[in-house]
Amino acid sequence: MSDEDDLDDFDPDQDDLEREDDEKDTEDWEDYRKEGDEYSEEWMPTPLTEDMAKEGLSLLCKTGNGLAHAYVKLEVKERDLTDISLLRSYIHLRYVDVSENHLTDLSPLNHLTHLLWLKADANRLRSARLSELPYLQIASFAYNQITDTEGISHPRLGSLDLKGNRIRLVTGLDPQNLISLHTLELRGNQLESTLGINLPKLKNLYLAQNLLKKVEGLENLSNLTTLHLRDNHIETLNGFSGEMKSLQYLNLRGNMVADLGELAKLRDLPKLRALVLLDNPCADETDYRQEALVQMAHLERLDKDFYEEEERVEANEIRQRLKEDQEQEVDPEHDMESDHPSSL
């Protein structure tokens, strides 16, 4: 398969647009959470009732041996719930949405061993810990008060959303357990390090709006295609390696990269096609676009603009001149012998 074929399903423009929209959502949810903080002590205990559950149930499906039927989807959003203990007995549920409540405990969900999809955004959770759920594929705990990533070990989990929480360090994400995880969303936390994300199957990693100063511990993510690091405090581009052989899209917008020479550290990324460096000091340099293409010959788009053919030609010429200059510096004696051949 060619590099062009690899890019067929890759639309960095669309990705950037979606992420910018998401960042607006983050601000909205932050306002929501602050309002909740102000009135949290006024919340009355509100357990999930049978009537609420019946109202939120849908999607009738066969269960067990196919002779019985049960509703497998439950949506109980915005009910001011503080307790979902009732769900212990709803063992056939596969899709559950308990977002925008006041929940602090999800342990009743440990009994839902058929669960495929879980959304528990905008609650009061301090942990995403659950017993291992063998079929869980999508889980979202966005905009809670979660402080760690411990206790997440679902073997079929493909997408995990923890954005808008209070996580400072990633721990407990075991690649031996999370063998299917391809998308990890940690935007809008308080991360100070990228260590602990050693998940070789990971394809999409979103770390924007954290407190990161450098990239580390991601060198072996050989399947990673998208890395989003917008709005951090990154100054250098260390931490990238040729082992990241699938990385196509890298967003570093709104960081602190000042030296164009740092771009040389990205040249070993063989499939990097789209790079975003807007709102970094280096983006103000006059030869910014040219230098990026000189360092990364396969780059197709820098920020919002694709490279034109004439830019590629010019970059190739500069690259060739630099190569010749380096060769002369390596072997100056050869040049001297060429200028002054010895007589026989």
Which of 94, 109, 124 is the last residue before a domain boundary?
Answer: 124
Is 90 exceeded by the pLDDT of residue 323? no
- Cα separation of 52 and 55, whole Å? 5
The CATH number of the domain holding residue 285 is: 3.80.10.10
Contact 274, 300 (CB under 8 A): yes
Long-range contacts of 71-80 (CB under 8 A, 24+ apart): 72/114, 76/48, 76/52, 76/101, 77/101, 79/46, 79/48, 79/52, 80/43, 80/44, 80/46
- What was the pLDDT predicted at 171? 97
- Cα separation of 118 and 97, whole Å? 6
pLDDT tens for each residue of 54-100 = 999 999 888 776 678 898 999 999 999 999 999 999 999 999 999 99
CA angle 84, 89, 90 (to 5 degrees): 80
Contact 228, 255 (CB under 8 A): no
Contact 162, 142 (CB under 8 A): yes
- Mean pLDDT for 284-288 is 92
Please count the residues of the chain.
Answer: 344
Is 90 exceeded by the pLDDT of residue 232? yes
Q: Does residue 35 form part of some domain?
A: no
- What was the pLDDT predicted at 68? 81
User: In this structure, what token pair is assigned to residue 277?
Assistant: 């460096």
Which of 124, 155, 184 is the last residue before a domain boundary?
Answer: 124
Tally of domains within the chain: 2
Q: Does residue 197 form part of some domain?
A: no
Torsion of CA 146, 149, 154, 157, to 10 degrees: 80
pLDDT tens for each residue of 290-320 = 999 999 999 999 998 999 999 999 999 998 8
Q: Does residue 301 form part of some domain?
A: yes
Q: Does residue 253 form part of some domain?
A: yes
Q: Does residue 214 form part of some domain?
A: no
- What was the pLDDT predicted at 16? 47
Split at pLDDT 50, 70, 90, the class of 2 is very low
- What was the pLDDT predicted at 1? 40
Q: Which residue range is the domain that position 296 belongs to? A: 228-328
Is 50 exceeded by the pLDDT of residue 39? no
Q: Does residue 177 form part of some domain?
A: no
